[in-house]
């Protein structure tokens, strides 16, 4: 196993490059670039609005870097340039004289046609899909833009990350390098709107009340969303009630919300929208760089699992980068040195931009530089705050080890030997466990590293903890929960949280300028939390009820982690049955939750077993 540690030489390199590119301002961009607005025709006659930013320097041929987005190609109009060209790391590409192209996808903003959310890829290559639209756009660009070198790259974060994956699937020979970043990959299993079948109501509702509104004709204007009265999302979502209450607010005009309600289980409709099912069609000549954040509140699932699918099914050059980032932090939203109360010891976003992404595109699109020392997987490990490199992910040196729940709140490596041993709590849907202790309206991004002491003090959260560690423990790879549980009703959710408990004497050397001097002594840092809708424990296609009070096995993916528990810390696991309002409330009776009535909601007594026949555990990916 190789390591890259953020040594001063890297920081010096980043500082020098940053100092150079900071001189690239709006005046420089306007002096050196010109903007062309073009309606590019697709094979079915629809035309897509495309903003093209061309270097005025024609002394050499330039590569094209394409971003397709449903979120607007603004600013519109001749002579209007996005400030990201000089206020974010995109200035690196301007300095390199890339042709920068941004396109409104079909049916969004100024593009013609009808929009469809995560439009399914068509392997038969008939009709239109996002891959064919990308093909047609790329074909027009390389045939019509002066001074282009015939090489095209594509990138995008979040939903544009989905369109980047579609670019990789386009099959156009000019597409040489693609970087899907925090990509929408599978909206039922782990991205944004569902986690293991549980509906992530807060993100879905806040997003689709604006994004989901129909656009009757091309426009440059943004939609407005629903605004709760008050500033407490916990109270607002609780008062709205069961999911039919949210559907009433949505009304009949939000097509994708109606699709969500119509497809409560994993069916062919969802499978057609899972990009992992189609990545075998990526051509060998298209390199991929999959990027994501360890602490991405929107999507801690997509990057890990898109990379794994490409690795297993495609024959192209495929790489992975995971940093200690919230959603999109590596793309200019902060420097990646901290998240919430937790610090990472360096400006990790700048390091990535200068040492990974720019060299990747320069190599494949300009024939510049050398990627022989760029690893297959470059992953930041929180806890000891180091970059590590691997020849594969998960690492060949990873070993799965059960960390077993024990009686009296203990947690250890030895399988329990007791009989009929369990810890019980009562889950009340009327008083769900909050996902954070703060009062706020919009979902926070920092909850992914939040202090969990507030939850540990609740009677409906059970806690298991190791003794103080006498040596560092590094974990990297897929994380699983393996519960043996009984429910007094016929359904329940299970939320499992893996937590790093800091020593009682811990403190940072100086207060954080952003967050202030939060008390870090005894801090319970969330390393990974995940939810599982219990009725899907045997099959996501065919749910089934629990037999009341019968112990059953519930195993689920959490997903991957990369963290070092330091000597002197403890490992903690918390288990609960609500995570509100991140996830909708399970009524705890077996029913179609999208149609649940108030009378369906019941308290449930839940037992988490830890005995010889029912050894509940978390399965850690331990690196030796």
List, in order, residues 6 or more apart from 482 with CB less than 8 Å away: 402, 553, 555, 616, 617, 618, 619
Residue that terminates a domain, selected from 213, 247, 269 = 269
**3-class DSSP assignment, residue 90:** coil
Any idea what the CATH number is for the domain that residue 218 is in? 1.10.3020.10
- Tokens 């709205």 belong to 240
Burial class (CB in 10 A: 0-12, 13-18, 19+), 550: exposed
Lowest mean pLDDT among 2-16, 381-395, 445-459, 560-574: 2-16
Q: What is the pLDDT of residues 240-297, one digit of tens each?
A: 999 999 999 999 989 999 999 999 999 999 999 999 999 999 999 999 999 999 999 9
- Beta-carbon count within 10 A of 503 CB: 16
**3-class DSSP assignment, residue 308:** helix
Residue that terminates a domain, selected from 337, 367, 390 = 390
Contact 38, 52 (CB under 8 A): yes
Same domain, 460 and 417: yes
Sorting pLDDT into bands at 50, 70 and 90, what band is 4? very low
Cα gap 498→530, rounded to integer Å: 9
- Beta pairing partners, 399: 622
Number of domains in the chain: 3
Tokens at 77, concatenated: 């109009």
Same domain, 296 and 262: no
Same domain, 348 and 479: no
CA distances from 337 to 59, 186, 239 (A): 39, 29, 38
Same domain, 469 and 613: yes
Tokens at 444, concatenated: 């926070």
**3-class DSSP assignment, residue 56:** coil
Residue that terminates a domain, selected from 357, 390, 423 = 390
Please name the helix (run of DSSP H) or strand (run of DSSP E) that holds residue 91, with its range, or none: helix 91-95
- Tokens 């909050």 belong to 434
CA distances from 287 to 283, 311, 316, 352 (A): 9, 11, 6, 18
Cα gap 475→149, rounded to integer Å: 44
Same domain, 376 and 524: no
Same domain, 91 and 107: yes
Q: What is the pLDDT of residues 23-49, one digit of tens each?
A: 789 999 999 999 999 999 999 999 999
Same domain, 219 and 332: no
Mean per-residue pLDDT over the chain, rounded = 94
Cα gap 156→455, rounded to integer Å: 36
Mean pLDDT along residues 510-518: 65
Same domain, 230 and 182: no
Sorting pLDDT into bands at 50, 70 and 90, what band is 510? confident
- Beta-carbon count within 10 A of 597 CB: 11
Mean pLDDT along residues 538-550: 98
Model pLDDT, residue 511: 62
Boundaries of domain holding 24: 2-186+273-390
Same domain, 240 and 315: no
Would strands 99-104 and 62-69 be described as parallel, antiparallel, or unpaired?
parallel
Model pLDDT, residue 516: 62
Any idea what the CATH number is for the domain that residue 613 is in? 2.60.120.260
Q: What is the pLDDT of residues 383-432, one digit of tens each?
A: 999 999 999 999 999 999 999 999 999 999 999 999 999 999 999 999 99
**3-class DSSP assignment, residue 418:** coil
CA dihedral of 40, 45, 46, 49, whole degrees rounded to 10:
10
Q: DSSP states of 240-284 as a string? A: H-SHHHHHHHHTT--HHHHHHHH--S--HHHHTT-GGGTGGGS-T
Same domain, 229 and 180: no
Report the candidate in 119, 26, 118, 113 with the shortest Cα–Cα distance to residue 75: 26
């Amino acid at each position: 196993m190789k390591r890259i540690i953020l040594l001063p030489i890297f920081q010096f390199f980043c500082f020098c490059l940053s100092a150079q590119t900071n001189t690239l301002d709006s005046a420089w961009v306007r002096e050196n670039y010109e903007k062309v607005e073009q309606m590019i025709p697709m094979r079915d006659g629809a035309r897509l609005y495309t903003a093209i930013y061309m270097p005025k320097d024609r002394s050499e041929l330039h590569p094209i870097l394409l971003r397709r987005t449903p979120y607007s190609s603004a600013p519109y109009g001749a002579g209007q340039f996005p400030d990201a060209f000089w206020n974010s790391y995109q200035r690196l590409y301007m300095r390199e004289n890339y042709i920068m192209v941004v396109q409104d996808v079909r049916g969004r903003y100024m593009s013609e046609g009808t929009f469809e959310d995560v439009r399914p890829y068509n392997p038969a290559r008939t009709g239109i899909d996002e891959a064919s639209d990308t093909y047609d756009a790329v074909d027009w660009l390389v045939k019509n833009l002066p001074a282009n070198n015939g090489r095209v790259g594509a990138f995008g974060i979040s939903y544009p990350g989905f369109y980047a994956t579609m670019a990789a699937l386009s099959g156009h020979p000019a597409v040489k390098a693609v970087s899907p970043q925090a990509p929408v990959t599978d909206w039922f299993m782990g991205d944004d709107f569902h986690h293991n079948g549980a509906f992530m109501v807060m993100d879905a509702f806040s997003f689709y009340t604006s994004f989901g509104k129909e656009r009757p004709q091309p426009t440059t204007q943004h939609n407005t969303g629903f605004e709760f009265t008050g500033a407490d999302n916990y109270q607002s979502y609780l008062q709205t009630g069961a999911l039919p209450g949210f559907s009433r607010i949505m009304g009949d005009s939000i097509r994708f919300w109606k699709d969500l309600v119509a497809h409560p289980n994993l069916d062919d409709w969802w499978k057609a929208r899972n990009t992992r099912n189609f990545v075998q069609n990526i051509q060998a000549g298209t390199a991929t760089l999959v990027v994501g954040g360890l602490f991405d509140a929107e999507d801690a699932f997509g990057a890990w699992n898109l990379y794994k699918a490409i690795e297993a099914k495609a024959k192209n050059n495929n790489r992975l980068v995971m940093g200690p980032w919230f959603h999109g932090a590596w793309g200019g939203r902060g420097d990646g040195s901290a998240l919430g109360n937790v610090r990472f010891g360096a400006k990790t976003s700048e390091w990535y931009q200068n040492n990974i992404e720019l060299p990747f595109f320069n190599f494949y699109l300009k024939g510049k530089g050398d990627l022989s020392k760029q690893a297959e997987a470059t992953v930041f490990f929180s806890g000891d705050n180091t970059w590590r490199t691997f020849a594969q992910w998960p690492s060949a040196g990873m070993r799965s080890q059960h960390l077993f729940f024990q009686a009296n709140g203990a947690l250890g490596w030895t399988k329990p030997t007791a009989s009929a041993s369990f810890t019980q709590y009562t889950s009340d849907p009327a008083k769900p466990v909050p996902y954070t202790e703060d009062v706020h309206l919009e979902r926070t991004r920092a909850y992914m590293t939040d202090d969990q002491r507030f939850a540990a003090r609740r009677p409906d959260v059970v806690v298991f903890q190791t003794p103080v560690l006498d040596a560092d423990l590094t974990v990297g790879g897929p994380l699983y929960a393996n519960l043996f549980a009984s429910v007094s009703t016929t359904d329940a959710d299970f939320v499992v949280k893996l937590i790093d408990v800091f020593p009682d004497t811990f403190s940072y050397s100086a207060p954080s300028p952003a967050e202030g001097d939060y008390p870090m002594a005894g801090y319970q840092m969330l390393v990974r939390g995940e939810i599982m809708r219990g009725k899907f424990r045997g099959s996501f296609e065919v749910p089934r009820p629990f037999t009341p009070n019968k112990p059953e096995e519930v195993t689920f993916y959490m997903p991957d982690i990369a963290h070092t528990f330091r000597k002197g810390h403890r490992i903690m696991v918390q288990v609960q049955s609500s995570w509100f309002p991140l996830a909708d409330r399970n009524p705890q009776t077996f029913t179609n939750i999208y149609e649940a009535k108030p009378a369906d909601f019941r308290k449930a007594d839940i037992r988490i077993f830890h005995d010889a026949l029912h050894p509940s555990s978390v399965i850690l990916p331990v690196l030796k």
